[in-house]
Structure 1
Amino acid sequence: MKKLLCVAMLLACPVFYGQSDLGAWYIYFGSIKPENSKWSFEPEIQFRNHDLGGDLQQLLVRPAIRYNLETNFSIAAGYAYVLSEAEETPDNPHRENRIYEEAILRQEVGRVAIRHRFRYEQRFMEDRDFNTRYRYCLFIDIPLNNTSIKEKTIYAALYNEIFINGKRNDDTPSVFDRDRIYLGAGYRLTKNFGIQLGWMNQMLEKTSKSQLMLSLHHTLPIRRANSGNPVPARG
C-alpha cells in the first residue's frame, strides 16, 4: 500500500499542485462470474463529492450483465441510477435513470494493456427531455514491477474518455458533452482484488474540475462444490 501511495503521488504531483477546488470520487467495481462461463454480473457504485468528502455531488449505482464473445472482446447491457446534488446548500437533488449498452476490446502491446470501451446511453432525466449520449474511453495500464498485471503488481493507469451528445435538445444543444483524463497508480493485491488511486480532470464546455479518485476492483468467481451448490471460489 505504501508503494501504491508513493507511485500515485509521484504521478499526480504535477497536476495536484495549485488545485484548490478538488473533489473526490470513491468507487467500487465488482464482477461476479461463474467459472467456465462467458457471462458475468458487474455491480458498480460511486460516491462522487464536491469536496474530499461530505458534500455529495452524485450517487451512481450501475449494475450490468456482460457476455464475453472472445477472450479479448465483450459486450454488456446495464442500468444506472444517478442522484445529483448541487454544491453546498440547498442540495436541489436531481435524478436520472439510464440504460446503456457497451462493447470492450482488449489489446496487449508488449507489457502494456490497452482497452477500448464504446458505450451508448439512453438518458431519462428528471424535468428534462429524453437524451442519448455516446462515450469512447481509451484505458492504458502499464505494469511497473512485473511483465504483466498479476498478483502483487504495481502499475500506472491512464485513461481518456470523451462524451458526445446524441439526441440534442434545449437541455443539450452542443455535440460535445465532456472529456475526462485520468492519471494514477494501481496495486493488484490478489488475483481477484486490486486498488487504484489517482487524479482525474473533467472538462465540460465552459468549466473543468479535478477529482481525487479511489477505486476498489473486485472479482468474485463462483464455482460449484461437490454437492452441486454454488459457492464462492477462493481468490
Structure 2
Amino acid sequence: MKAQIALVFFLCITITAAWAQDDRGTGAWYMYFGNLRPADSPFSLHGEIQYRNHNMIGDLEQLLIRSGIQYNLPDNSATFTLGYGYIGSEPVGDEDFRVNENRIYQEALLRQGVSTVQLLHRFRYEQRFIDGQDFRTRFRYNLFINVPVTAKKFAKGGVYVALYNEIFINGERLDNIPLFDRNRLYGAMGYKLRDNLGVQLGYMSQMLNSRNQGQLQLSLHHNMTL
C-alpha cells in the first residue's frame, strides 16, 4: 500500500509539472553529485557538475560546477557546507554570448526519518558575483522526500520515489529584482546501483516570475568513503 501511494503521488507531481510548462518546450538537465569522505573523519568533500539544456540535447542553457568542504555531525543528523560554484549561462540559440557567475555559498542539511521515509531540509545562503560587476545574495530552502518502494529500501537494488520542492528568495529587493526568485517542484524514480551509488530519472517544473519551464532530469548520486 505504501508503494502504491508513493507511485500515485509521483504521478500526480509529474502530471502537474508537465501541465505547467511554457511554450518553449521541455529542457533537460544531466547531473552528477559526488561526496568523498575519509573513514572516521567528520569532514568530507562535495563536487557536482550539471549540464543544463534549453531543449533535450545540444542547446546549452547552463553549465554549473560546484564544490564544497563539509562538516558532518557524529550522528550524521546534519551536514554543514562552505563552498564555491561557477555558473555559465547562455540565451536560447546564442552560443556567442555567456553570462558568467561566481558563487560562494553556505549550507545546512538536516536529516530526519519518519518510519522508512527520508526527509532532508536544506538551507542555503548564496553570494553571487555576476560577470564580475553585479553582486546579489539569495536564500534557498529545499525539502527532499525519499520514499522506498521495494523491500531493499535504499540499499543496492532498491527502488524509491524522490520528491522535492525548493523556493528561492532574493536578498535584495530592487526595481528590477523582485523578492521571489523561483520555485522548483520535482518528482523522480530512483534506483540504487550500489549501496553508495544511485540514479534518478525525473521531471522538474520551475516557476519563475514571468514563465514556467519544465525539465527532464537524469542524475547520478555517489557517496565515496576512503
TM superposition score normalised by structure 2:
0.88
Separation in structure 2 between the aligned mates of residue 167 and residue 16 of structure 1, nearest angstrom: 31
> Structure 1 156/133 Cα, relative in aligned 2: closer, same or farther at 3 Å?
same
1:25 pairs, out of 29, 47, 50, with 29
Give me the whole-angstrom Cα distance separating, in 1, the residues matched to 2:176 and 2:189.
36
Instruction: Please say if 1:74 is aligned against 2:46.
Output: no
Report deviation, 1:17: 6.7
**Residue equivalent to 1:49:** 53
Find the counterpart in structure 2 of residue 163 from structure 1. 168
Q: Who is 1:3 aligned against?
A: none
> Which AA in structure 1 matches 2:109?
I
- Give, in angstroms, the shift of residue 168 of structure 1: 3.3
Kindly tell me: are residues 87 and 149 of structure 1, through their superposed partners in 2, closer, same or farther at Cα, counting changes over 3 Å? same
Q: 1:126-175: CA deviations, max 9, x gaps?
A: 16521100000000000000263111110000000000001334542x11
Q: Hey, what does 2:158 align to over in structure 1?
A: 153
Gaps of 5+ in 1: 1-6, 223-235
Cα distance in 2, alignment partners of residues 139 and 157 from structure 1: 7
Equivalent position of 1:110 in the other structure: 115
> 2:73 matched to 1:60?
no
The equivalent position to 1:131 in structure 2, one of 131, 136, 141, is 136
Q: AA paired with 2:160?
A: Y
Deviation at 1:89, TM superposition (A): 2.8
Structure 2 residue ranges without an equivalent (≥5): 1-6
SS of 1:86's equivalent in the other structure is coil
* CA distance in 2: counterparts of 1:152 and 1:209, whole angstroms: 32
| 2-structure distance, mates of 1:17, 1:203 | 12
Q: Give 1:233's aligned residue.
A: none
Q: Is 2:152–2:158's contact at 8 Å kept on the other side of the alignment? A: no
Q: Report whether the alignment pairs 1:206 with 2:210.
A: yes
Q: Distance in 2 between matches of 1:197 and 1:81?
A: 24
Q: Distance in 1 between matches of 2:97 and 2:202?
A: 29
Contact 2:29 2:50 in 1 (8 A): yes
Choose 1 or 2 for highest CA Rg.
1
For residue 74 of structure 1, report the CA deviation from its aligned partner: 1.3
Name the residue aligned to 2:188.
184
Residues 30 and 219 in structure 2, CA contact (< 8 A), matched pair in contact too = yes
Task: Please tell me the residue identity of whatever aligns with 1:121.
Answer: E
Structure 2 match to 1:35: 39
Structure 1 position 77, deviation (Å): 0.7
1:160 and 1:181 in contact (8 A); partners too = yes
Matching residue's letter, 1:94 = V
Q: What amino acid maps onto 2:172 in structure 1?
A: K
Percent pairwise identity: 48
Structure 2 partner of 1:227? none
CA distance in 1, matches of 2:135, 2:95: 26
User: Higher relative contact order by CA 8 Å / sep ≥ 6: 1 or 2?
Assistant: 2
The one-letter code matched in structure 1 to 2:53 is N
Alignment CA distance shift 1:125-1:169 (3 Å): farther
CA distance in 2, matches of 1:103, 1:40: 14
Deviations 1:187-234 (A, max 9, x none): 011111110000000001111100000000112211xxxxxxxxxxxx
Residue 93 of structure 2, aligned match among 78, 88, 95: 88
